[in-house]
């Protein structure tokens, strides 16, 4: 598998992300081929869709002010996190741990980094739909690619960021290894391989997190199952079936 970063101009609201991808890939000397996987930062998709919020327009609620005081955060930012999150699990200084669209993520996907000063950037309204629409645009041009929309995330008991898939189109996000034999002939009982998340994490290495201006990655020769009808919903596990969340929920209820 090969992964190449695609540098782009600064993405602005209303920009055509497909057009920019094609132009930027040519400038980087790369041709987008059938069965390539294009990986997009959720932030640039959200910005192109106009999902930038002027913090001066936000009136924080009592709960936002309370959480902001507890975790040393801007109450306006916290108010956006509350609006964007399905559930707030807790926090540490400068960050809240949330659940959004079945994904455990910091701050409900709301981000100040690489957003214009005074603004916050949000995820696309529907990352799955966005991935499907981008793929369809390329298919209409005769290029049969797959698409992945990702964001960075933290992992329990680990320092630093990895990445998580938020929307997927054109390949299977999970490889089910249950029933497969190990080296000693024992059947796997619960093992499933997070293909989409693993590709997301690998792509993040070339995309970067700060001033790289590389919000897109091209993944080539990935060992994935290409096809139609795949969705990120296949990769989402209910809280009650998740090892980590199931245990944490029990602890919180003690």
pLDDT tens digits, one per residue of 34-75: 999 999 999 999 999 999 999 999 999 999 999 999 999 999
Q: Are residues 210 and 110 in the same domain?
A: no
What's the rounded Cα separation, in Å, for the pair 73 and 94? 5
Tell me the CATH number at 167: 3.30.1330.100
Report the pLDDT value the prediction gives residue 253, as an integer from 0 to 100. Answer: 64
Torsion sign over Cα 239, 164, 200, 166? positive
Report the pLDDT value the prediction gives residue 252, as an integer from 0 to 100. Answer: 66
Contact present, 197 and 103 (Cβ < 8 Å): no
What's the rounded Cα separation, in Å, for the pair 98 and 238? 15
Q: Are residues 149 and 242 in the same domain?
A: yes
Q: Are residues 210 and 134 in the same domain?
A: yes
- Chosen domain end from 82, 98, 122: 122
Write out the residue range of the structural domain in which residue 131 sits. 2-45+127-252
Q: Are residues 18 and 142 in the same domain?
A: yes
Q: Are residues 231 and 142 in the same domain?
A: yes
What's the rounded Cα separation, in Å, for the pair 33 and 154? 32
Q: Are residues 143 and 235 in the same domain?
A: yes
Tell me the CATH number at 116: 3.90.1660.10
- Chosen domain end from 95, 122, 149: 122
- Chosen domain end from 89, 122, 155: 122
Q: Are residues 215 and 233 in the same domain?
A: yes
What's the rounded Cα separation, in Å, for the pair 42 and 103? 13
Looking at the structure of the chain, the number of domains it has is 2
Q: Are residues 10 and 105 in the same domain?
A: no
* Length of the chain (residues): 254
Q: Are residues 85 and 205 in the same domain?
A: no
Contact present, 122 and 105 (Cβ < 8 Å): no
The stretches in the chain having pLDDT less than 70 are 252-254
Please give the model's pTM, rounded to 2 decimal places. 0.94
E strand or H helix at 66: helix 62-71
Report the pLDDT value the prediction gives residue 172, as an integer from 0 to 100. Answer: 97
């Amino acid at each position: 598998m090969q992964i190449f970063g695609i540098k782009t101009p600064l993405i602005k609201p209303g920009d055509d992300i497909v057009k920019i991808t094609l132009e930027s890939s040519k400038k980087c000397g790369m041709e987008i081929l059938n069965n390539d996987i294009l990986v997009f930062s959720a932030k640039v998709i959200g910005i192109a869709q106009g999902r930038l919020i002027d913090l001066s327009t936000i009136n924080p609620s009592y709960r936002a002010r309370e959480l902001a005081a507890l975790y040393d955060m801007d109450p306006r930012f916290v108010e956006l996190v509350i609006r964007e999150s399905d559930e707030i699990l807790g926090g540490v200084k400068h960050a809240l741990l949330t659940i959004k669209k079945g994904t455990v993520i910091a701050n409900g996907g709301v981000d100040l980094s690489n957003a214009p000063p005074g603004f916050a950037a949000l995820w696309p309204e529907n990352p799955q739909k966005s991935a499907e629409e981008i793929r369809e645009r390329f298919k209409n041009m005769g290029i049969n690619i797959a698409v992945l929309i990702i964001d960075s995330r933290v992992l329990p008991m680990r320092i630093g960021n990895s990445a998580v898939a938020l929307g997927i189109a054109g390949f299977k996000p999970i490889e089910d290894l249950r029933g497969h034999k190990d080296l000693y002939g024992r059947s796997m009982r619960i093992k499933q391989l997070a293909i989409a998340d693993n590709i997301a994490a690998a792509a993040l290495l070339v995309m970067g997190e700060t001033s790289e201006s590389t919000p897109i990655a091209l993944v080539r020769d990935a060992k994935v199952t290409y096809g139609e009808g795949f969705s990120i919903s296949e990769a989402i596990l209910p809280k009650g079936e998740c090892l980590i969340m199931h245990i944490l929920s029990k602890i919180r209820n003690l």
